[in-house]
A and B are shown apart, each in its own frame.
Chain A
């Protein structure tokens, strides 16, 4: 039966070639957009691992000031901590969560190498952002005296570097000693992928320009203006900027979602276009084959048989196109051009195959149903 269908289509391959090209191209479009969307969703469903509400990031840049930078900065931090509106304060490097700046370094343990984002933070970072600890604890000021620099790593980094071993107390790259392992931490938020992160303790030698603070809910720009004014008077000639993490978050979301939405809309229109086209072509094709249908009906084929026949023909055409499309699609995970996990591509392939069969069935349904209702007497009479 199946062989029969393939044979039918193969014999008319020239007449069906345009249809096949069309379905093949739709498959590739679906595959591309599907990969992008699945990748985005996969990232989105993994928790970010921190609280961003009511957290402000004050960037204090020393500019040309060169005297006692760290001392002045620490004074400013102490001043900020003294406000009743401020619940928790942490000093860190410029790449605060949701910011656009990034810092990457390679780390090594037992010949295993991992590229990780480095955040230089102080001991209050975990508390300010409510980060969950899975193992050990956040480093403290007391840890800074040892031979090794204390670091905290996220769960993903622990998995890549230590696999099943416990990480606490281990030394990374002959330089850093792990004091704790956090749960999830995705530095750029919801749409960032879950990647290795290492938190290094701030040293007293350099000024790290960001002061993160968690404020009481409902604190507004009045307080912010006062705070900036006070800090400006302490840090003359420095530049100050306050970002709300909620604003930076929106910004990051926009950067991720705008291209996704554009691709989605464009490909949706393309698919609707294709669906209409298929529908039209099938309608005409079936109208041309009235005699054949009449003959089959006269010889005892049921309505169901006829309808199924036309739908099955479309499925066979779709299968040919998809097989060719697959040859192209599998190149992406094999060559790994965009560095996405191959699971994303396979899910996208499955989804595209499903959608293509869905569209094809939908488009073939109405014309087939119509064809099946053709009266053998009228059809044969026309002949």
Chain B
């Protein structure tokens, strides 16, 4: 019985290849766009390699001070000193890491120039950020205290810098700005879109030129505080903000009247960068996203409904003939149901293939280094159901109404 439905559905699809093509094109295109987009969003704000603990971490990325008339403003990363006094000592945090934003430099391998991003970190950095070590291990507290010239590099840099690409890099020396560093670990790189972890070389914060012994408030470092679980984020935030409110804004003699150090989840940081675009930045952002989604989803949906509704007259005589030969309404309904599910499934299959194709192409292109987009199957299923809903609404409902007509009326149409 069921096989029969599918057989009919298949024949119906082939009978009118052009309309089948329109429907399939609409379904697979919409699903592909939605999946590629969500894959990007997930890439930007999800808890992905190596920041797998994002959801239970607070990012403390800048200190902002304003004066009373709100004309002067100073905003930026902090000193190592400040962060180890106020963040490292948090009681509610399980682990705290202090590290610098990346800074740029160059290395030279023979006549080849390599552009580098450098990051200075403490040892906890490697415990919160779960990097894959392809070789060696991270630096320990002992190596940091001893101000040893050691470095962890990415696999990409290893391939660029050392002539023998297959030989282990551990123990070899890499020269950056006139100083030789011993390589003690090689990691799989983090994409540049994850600015808190992306770099090519990681140094202990005691390495030369890190600026960790700077005094005062404004420096080059930021911190990530990880709590035991998601629920204790709030407590950690409260404890930190209580501490920050104790610091006088003019502590270093500058004439500021307000001081804030936001401790935010990663999603909040992402959204606040957007809202900096202007006073209504957030509203504009949400409006734009809603509008784009509405268009991407709405246009093909309207299109699908339109084509389906127009086609129903095309099918009217078919329905009438079958009814005249004694097919019950239920059978007809089942046929249309199966037909719609069938075409939605084929469309989704094409979309899945397309998405995999696009994503692996984007990952392989050097557009963003170390990009690791993945397909989110939940989103895929949800959008498939939405498509099915529109298909049923526009295909089955009119068919049902048509099948309830008197045979003679339907036959005439």
Contact = CB atoms under 8 A, between A and B. Distances in A.
B220 to A, nearest CB: 9
A285 interface: yes
A276 B211 contact: no
A222 B111 contact: yes
Nearest to A242: B106
Interface string B110-122: 0111010000000
Given A242-B113, A274-B299, A281 B310 contact: yes
Interface in B203-220: 208-209, 211, 213-214
Contact of A276 (B22, B111, B313): B22
A241 B176 CA distance: 10
A277 B113 contact: no
Interface string B309-324: 1110110000000000
Interface string B283-301: 0100000010001101110
A52 to B, nearest CB: 17
B113 A221 contact: yes
A242 to B, nearest CB: 5
B302 interface: yes
Contacts of B311: 280, 284
A364 B202 CA distance: 62
B299 A281 contact: no
Interface stretch (A167-175, A209-217, A227-235, A311-319): A227-235
Nearest to A221: B113
A175 B209 CA distance: 37
Contacts of A258: 367
A273 B178 contact: no
Nearest to B29: A269
Contacts of A19: 306
Interface residues of B, number: 44
A69 interface: no
B177 A232 contact: yes
A133 interface: no
B52 to A, nearest CB: 27
A273 B26 contact: yes
Interface string B80-121: 000000000000000000000001111010011101000000
A63 B120 CA distance: 14
B33 interface: yes
Contacts of B25: 272-273, 276
Main SS class of interface, A: helix
A277 B19 CA distance: 9
Contact of B177 (A228, A266, A285): A228
A251 to B, nearest CB: 10
Interface string A19-39: 101100110110010000000
A240 B295 CA distance: 48
B307 interface: yes
A18 B177 contact: no
Contacts of A273: 22, 25-26, 29, 299-300, 303
A229 B178 CA distance: 6
A277 B296 contact: no
A229 B302 CA distance: 65
A75 B25 CA distance: 66
Given A221-B111, A280-B307, A22 B299 contact: yes
A53 interface: no
A342 to B, nearest CB: 18
A56 B199 CA distance: 23
Nearest to B306: A18
A59 B105 CA distance: 9
A281 B177 contact: no
A134 interface: no
Contact of B22 (A225, A266, A280, A288): A280
B307 A281 contact: yes
A269 B34 CA distance: 13
B33 A266 contact: yes
Contacts of A18: 302, 305-306, 309
Contacts of A59: 104
A334 interface: no
A81 B311 CA distance: 77
A379 B296 CA distance: 41
A221 B112 CA distance: 6
Contacts of A241: 103-106
B211 A225 contact: no
A337 interface: yes
A104 interface: no
B361 interface: no
A168 to B, nearest CB: 31
Contact of B313 (A64, A279, A284): A284
A281 to B, nearest CB: 5
Contacts of A338: 284
Interface string B193-234: 000000000000000110101100000000000000000000
B2 interface: no
B18 interface: yes
A224 B284 contact: no
A240 B177 contact: yes
A63 B310 contact: no
B36 to A, nearest CB: 9
A285 B310 contact: yes
A85 B341 CA distance: 70
A274 B30 CA distance: 12
Contacts of A108: none
B214 A64 contact: yes
Contacts of A284: 310-311, 313-314
B316 to A, nearest CB: 10
A68 interface: no
A220 interface: yes
A183 B367 CA distance: 34
A22 B113 contact: no
A377 interface: no
Contacts of A64: 211, 213-214
Contact of B310 (A238, A242, A280): A280
Contact of A281 (B26, B291, B295, B306): B306
Given A221-B113, A241-B104, A279-B22, 13 more contacts: A18-B305, A28-B295, A220-B111, A232-B177, A233-B178, A238-B209, A273-B22, A273-B26, A273-B29, A273-B299, A280-B310, A280-B311, A287-B314
User: Ordered nearest first, which 4 A-B pairs have the shortest CB separation?
Assistant: A277-B303, A225-B108, A221-B113, A232-B178
Interface of A: 18-19, 21-22, 25-26, 28-29, 32, 59, 63-64, 220-222, 224-225, 228-229, 232-233, 237-243, 247, 254, 258, 266, 269-270, 272-274, 276-277, 279-281, 284-285, 287-288, 337-338
30 contacts: A18-B302, A21-B302, A25-B295, A63-B211, A64-B211, A222-B111, A228-B108, A232-B177, A232-B178, A239-B103, A240-B106, A241-B103, A242-B106, A243-B104, A247-B115, A269-B33, A270-B300, A273-B26, A273-B303, A276-B25, A276-B303, A277-B26, A277-B303, A280-B18, A280-B19, A280-B310, A284-B311, A284-B313, A287-B314, A337-B280
